[in-house]
Each structure stands twice: as C-alpha cells, then as structure tokens.
C-alpha cells in the first residue's frame, strides 16, 4: 500500500509543476513532464534542479555528468561522514585545524561565543570587552567578521577601521557605515579574521570584493588528491563579497589544466543569466584570461586536500594572494551551482572517489540529512543500474 501512496503523491506534485513550467506550448510541457520523470528515476533530479539548470535545453553530456542533491548526499555521507561534519562547517574549528596542518589561511584574531565567559583566553571572548581586549592586544586595525556557521557570504562584515573605546569599540565598515561592537554582538558565535590582500590580477576583476576560486577536490584511499573542477566567483561594484545568494555576481569556469577563464556569465538569479566577455562594472577582460602562477596554486591545493583526510571530497573557496592560495572556507557539503558555470557536472569524479572508498568494505553510515529517495533507489543510481 505504501508504494501506491508514494506513487500517487509523486504524480500529485508533478502535475501542477508541469502546468506552471515556462514552456511555449502544451506539447512542450508534455515532453518536459516525461523527461523529468526519466531524470528523477535514473538520477534522482529534483524539480528545482530541473528548472534552475534548464534541463529541457541541456545536451546529453551535461545530463550524464550532472550531480544532483539526492545522489550527492548519498556519496558525501560516506566520503565526508557526519562525525566530522563540524570540523569543516564551524569556521572557528576549521581555523584551528588548518593552523595545525600547515594550510595557508587568513589570520584568526578572535572567536566570540555568547554562552559564558572564558577566562584569560588569547582567542576566545564572551563579551564586547573581551573582544576589544583580544583585538587591541594584537594591534588589530582592520578585520572581517563572520558567523561561524553561515556560508555564501551571508552576514559578512568588512571593517576598515577600529576605533577603540573604554570596554567597547566603534567599527567603521567598508561602505562608510559604522556601529559599536556591542551592537554587533548577539546570540550567535562570530569569528574575527584578518583582511586578505588578493593579487593585482584578481583585484582588477572587481576591487571591492575578494574574488575567490572554488576548487573541487577528491582524496583517494592511496593518498592521491585530485582537482576535479575549478571556477571563479567575482563580486559586483561596491559589494564586499563575491557571492550573492539570490543573484548579482559574476561567475566563470576555469580550465583545470591551463588556468584559462571561460564561459563568463552575469548571474542575476536562476534563468536570469547573461553570457559576458568582460566584467560588467570594471570592464576587465575575463574570457581567455589565464590565472597567474596556476601550476603552483594547483600544487598547493592538492597539498591542502591531503592535509584534511576526514573530508575526502571538498569545495575550497580560495583567495589568490602574492604568497599563494589562502583558504577562505572549506565546504564538506556544497551547492550544485558551479556545474552551470562549468557547463558540465562533476558526478563521475565524485562517484569514482565514492566507489574507491566503498570498495574497501566501509559500512554505509547514517544519513547526515534525510534523503528524498529510499536507499535501494540511491544504490541503483550509484551503480548505474537504470
């Protein structure tokens, strides 16, 4: 009886979605309807993914290589098990781990946690006075403030000047606004990091933001690390971050082998994407530009992945500085947007790494998150049995 209920519920959800789908004819909607059912059954593609990535226009190569949410969860629950979840997601813990593994990153000045005072710590603060004491002791004049759990540039504050007061300080932001530190601190943990100075080449794309390169990497049982995809995220004029969740930034593929920027787009939201050659604000040439010192950067990133064996498939947000790549963030569970920029997916590479670890006889762990598909369905997808 349960399979019948699931079947009816599935059709109940799909029918109105198909009716609303932006297509120019009834016949086109019927074709999309059956196409989506096929992709859901064989790859677990969600309705949002089908719509956002415009699967009705995609060629076979993209469809075969795209890694959707359901299949991604299946692979990453083994490659990046839940017991290590917080080591990558919590920015304070990630900082301390990277410190001990020799991975280059921005300096960590202070960790603010609101759940009780920590006595005489040189890094951890429980109130505004402690934060000021720790920052002033290190002579900090500028910093970046981040929520320890958020990503995609959410809640990032760039402080261009700190005016120290008695038991508090005034933060002067990059956009000309200011606020007292005591007004910024609340019920959520924060980290205070150093500002990163990117290379002149990366700054020329958009000077107001640190324009980062996302490196997708995998680690195999024999210790080999591979870079499977790279793309760049560039902010818009006046923005201090390179990623706007609802749209409003510039993105492009980077050829892993050569470091050449390709397929640049202005991303203003899903299905609101424009192909471009130059940055729309700075006018900097993007397509055809080769990232300086690419081979050395790649070698460093391979070393970074080898230094984090508990995260066997990672998305590294990296700033390029004159001293080499600097880690902004490590993602053990990432979104799928980059596959749009690359014009191909990374399904085969992630699946290959998964199969390598699975062949060792590892037990399948508990799910990190509930999956929309039952385990037998996911196993069939991962084995290419459809």
The pLDDT value recorded for residue 167 is: 87
In a domain, 307, yes or no: yes
Q: Are residues 10 and 23 in the same domain?
A: yes
In a domain, 340, yes or no: no
The pLDDT value recorded for residue 382 is: 86
* Rounded Cα–Cα distance for residues 145 and 134 (Å): 14
In a domain, 342, yes or no: no
Full 3-state SS string of 191-240: EEECCCCCCHHHHHHCCCCCCEEEEEEEECCCCCEEEEEEEEEECCCCCC
Residue 218 CA, distance from chain mean position: 15
| C-alpha closest to that of 218 among 305, 119, 89 | 305
Q: Are residues 223 and 94 in the same domain?
A: yes
pLDDT bracket for residue 117 (50, 70, 90) = confident
pLDDT bracket for residue 2 (50, 70, 90) = very low
Sheet holding 178-180, edge to edge: 124-125, 108-112, 190-193, 143-147, 157-164, 169-173, 178-180
Domain boundary (152, 171, 193) is at 193
The pLDDT value recorded for residue 1 is: 41
In a domain, 117, yes or no: yes
- pLDDT tens digits, 327-347: 999 999 999 999 999 999 999
3-state secondary structure of 278: strand
Q: Which residues are bridge partners to 320 per DSSP?
A: 325
Question: For residue 364, is pLDDT > 60?
Answer: no
Q: Which of 15-29, 61-75, 127-141, 247-261 has the lowest mean pLDDT?
A: 15-29
Cβ within 8 Å of residue 317, ≥6 positions away: 212, 213, 214, 233, 327, 328, 329, 330, 331
Please answer whether residues 114 and 186 qualify as being in contact, where contact means their C-beta atoms are separated by less than 8 angstroms.
yes
Domain boundary (178, 193, 208) is at 193
Q: Are residues 370 and 239 in the same domain?
A: no
Say which CATH number the domain at 212 has.
Answer: 3.30.470
Question: For residue 244, is pLDDT > 60?
Answer: no
- pLDDT tens digits, 134-192: 999 999 999 999 998 765 556 789 999 999 999 899 999 988 899 999 999 988 999 99
Q: Are residues 130 and 216 in the same domain?
A: no
Q: Are residues 123 and 159 in the same domain?
A: yes
3-state secondary structure of 70: helix
Query: pTM for this structure?
Result: 0.90
* Rounded Cα–Cα distance for residues 323 and 80 (Å): 29
3-state secondary structure of 247: coil
- What residue has token string 């989506």? 36
> Which residue range forms the structural domain that includes residue 177?
108-193
* Rounded Cα–Cα distance for residues 191 and 273 (Å): 34
Domains contained in the chain, number: 3
């Amino acid at each position: 009886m349960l399979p019948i209920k699931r079947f009816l519920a599935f059709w109940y959800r799909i029918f109105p979605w198909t009716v609303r789908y932006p297509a120019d004819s009834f016949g086109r909607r019927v074709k999309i309807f059956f196409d989506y059912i096929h992709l859901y059954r064989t790859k677990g593609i969600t309705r949002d993914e089908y719509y956002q990535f415009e699967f009705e226009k995609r060629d076979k190569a993209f469809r075969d290589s795209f890694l959707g949410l359901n299949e991604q969860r299946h692979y990453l629950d083994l490659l990046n098990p839940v017991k290590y979840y917080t080591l990558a997601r919590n920015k304070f813990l990630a900082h301390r781990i990277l410190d001990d593994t020799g991975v280059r990153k921005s300096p960590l000045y202070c960790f603010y946690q609101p759940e009780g005072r920590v006595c005489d710590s040189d890094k951890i603060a429980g109130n505004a006075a402690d934060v000021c004491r720790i920052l002033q002791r290190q002579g900090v004049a500028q910093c970046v403030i981040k929520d320890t759990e958020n990503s995609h540039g959410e809640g990032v504050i760039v402080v261009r000047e700190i005016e120290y007061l008695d038991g508090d300080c005034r933060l002067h932001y990059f956009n000309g606004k200011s606020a007292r530190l005591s007004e910024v601190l609340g019920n959520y943990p924060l980290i205070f990091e150093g500002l990163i100075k990117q290379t002149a080449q990366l700054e020329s794309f958009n000077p107001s933001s640190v324009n980062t390169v996302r490196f997708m990497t995998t680690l195999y049982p024999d210790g080999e690390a591979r870079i499977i995809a790279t793309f760049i995220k560039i902010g818009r004029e006046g923005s201090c971050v390179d990623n706007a969740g609802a749209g409003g930034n510039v993105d492009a593929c980077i050829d892993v082998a050569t470091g050449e920027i390709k397929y640049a787009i202005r991303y203003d939201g899903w299905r609101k994407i424009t192909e471009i050659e130059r940055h729309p604000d700075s006018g900097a040439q993007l397509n055809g530009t080769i990232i300086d010192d690419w081979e050395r950067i790649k070698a460093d990133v391979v070393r970074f992945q080898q230094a984090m064996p508990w995260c066997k498939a990672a998305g590294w947000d990296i700033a390029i500085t004159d001293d080499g790549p600097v880690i902004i963030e490590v993602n053990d569970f990432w979104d799928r947007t980059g596959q749009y920029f690359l014009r191909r997916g990374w399904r085969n590479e992630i699946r290959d790494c998964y199969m390598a670890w699975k062949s060792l006889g590892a037990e399948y762990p508990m799910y990190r998150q509930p999956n929309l598909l039952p385990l037998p369905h996911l196993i069939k997808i991962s084995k290419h049995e459809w």
